Structure 1
Amino acid sequence: MANYSLRRVGFLGATVLLTGALISAPTQAAGPGNGRTAPFEQSYLKFIIDHHFSALRMTELAAGTDVQRDPQVNNPKEGTAPTPSTAPTPAKASAEEIKSMARMANRSQREEIAKAQRFLLEWYGVAHVPQVTPAGQRAIQALTYESPGAQFDRAFLANFSNHHYLALDPSQECRVKFDLKHEELKHYCEGIVQTQTRQINDMRTQLCERFNVCDYQPYNPITRR
């Protein structure tokens, strides 16, 4: 009986300690910009803005740049809009499918940059200016010095796959770490995971069909994994 009483007291004591810990723990965000989700969201949004911004120059090198849109909406020779402070760039890719993919990626990632900037500004009052990441700079430099044509096509497919791969883990985290009031961010992150995964596998398919590289696996250029 005494042993039972001691066990019961011990159980009650542990319950009190646990309850106290729960009460003293940081609470869930009471509103956007507060709580533990805020630092994660701000960090993620800045990351994805810079990540996408780095991709713009990569796609410009593949598809070329045009200062002004051509009247023909579906002109396969049309380039992308140039990144500020960059010179006009002729297309280095030779395959029309790769140039088309580069144009589509350029346009969609410009929209995603704008949306992420809006989230940061509206929720946190942060106006983040995009900047090229170190990993992005290395990829851009590699593609800049790559010879135009088939050699560039192969290098672009591999480099852009790796670049897309960098966004997957942070965006997967975002799906379960966003502020519960920010459903829009959850959908944004889910869209990135789906789009980047699909495009990675499209590029892997092209590496196989065009260059007989059928076992390519994208990796993180920073960790080499």
Structure 2
Amino acid sequence: MDEIFKVSGAILGSVGGAATIIIALSSWLGKVWANRILEKDKLAYSTELERLKSQLNTNAEKQQYIFSLYFEGQFKLYNDLWVSLSHLQDEVEKLWSEASIKNLRTFVLALSTAKKQIRGSALLIDQNHYKEIMEVIYNLENYQIGKEHLINMRRNVENISQFDVQEIIEQNRHNRERINAFVEHMLEEMRGQISGKR
């Protein structure tokens, strides 16, 4: 019986030892495979990450280029727009100083030129600036109408009412003040737009 127990113990011991060896080998082999799979995944993710970085850099460069073209165009446009508004303001002042047919014609020409430029450049003008500019164009048109009335009234001296003349002058003064305030406001806005602060 002792022999049976010894043999049985030896068999169980060798099976247990073999099981321990098999478990240890399985564990080692599993780690080796896991490391290989992990390295393969790392390589795949690293490659994909580099591809995405490259794509982002390309998109960023493209956006930067488009922005620089837009900014350059907008800078030129705002500069031209300022020249037009400044010229228009000079014509407003000349017409204010002397309500004559000659001054009215040069004012109308400057206003017409500015309107064409503004409408033609609307794509690059900031939306709020465009609304403000169109509002002042409306005031300039009212200023033109007021000056035309004043010139016509002064031509017909016999039908002239001093009250009517004074009322037109006051309306013109109000429009002139709004125009001058707007031009100063737009100067600050344009400077802010160009410097990127707005």
State the TM-score, normalizing by the size of structure 2.
0.37
State the TM-score, normalizing by the size of structure 1.
0.34
Which has a greater percent of helix? 2
